[in-house]
Amino acid sequence: MEKRVIATDKAPAAIGPYSQAIEVNGLIYTSGMIPVIPETGEIVEGIEAQARQALTNVKNLLESAGSSMDKVIKTTVFIKDMNDFAAVNAVYATFFSGAFPSRSCVEVARLPKDVLIEVEAVAIR
C-alpha cells in the first residue's frame, strides 16, 4: 500500500500537522476544506458564499489529484447551524451531476476560524 500526499495552492494550506489530502489505493481522502480563499487567506461572508467556497476548495484539491467532483463517493459536511441546511443543499447540488455521493451532515459547535461550514470528501482517482 502506497500513500501519496496531495497538495495544491488552489485550496487552503494546512494550518496544522496534516495534509490537504492523501491518496491510497486509488482513493483520495481530503481533509476538511473551509471557505478560505486560497489566494488571499480571506473568508467569504454568509452561508451560501461559504458553502460555495468550501466546495470550490474541495473541487480544486480533487482536480489537482487527478480526480473530480463527479468521482466523489462520500462527503461529510459540518455546519454551524442546522437552520442553514436548505441553503447549503442548494449550493451543494450545483457541484455534482448524475448520482450524488453519499453524505453525512452534522451540526457542530465550532469550526476552525469560526467559519460556518467545512466539507471533506472521499473520491476515486
Distances (CA, A) of 74 to 63, 69, 104, 109, 113: 16, 10, 8, 23, 24
Distances (CA, A) of 14 to 9, 46, 116: 10, 23, 18
Q: Which of 49, 105, 111, 122 is catalytic?
A: 105
**Which of these, 71, 73, 55, 63, lies nearest to 6 by C-alpha position?**
63
Give CA angle at 84 (42, 29), nearest 5°.
65
**Residue 119 known to be catalytic:** no
Q: Contact, 81 vs 108, CB < 8 A?
A: no
Residues with a known catalytic role: 105
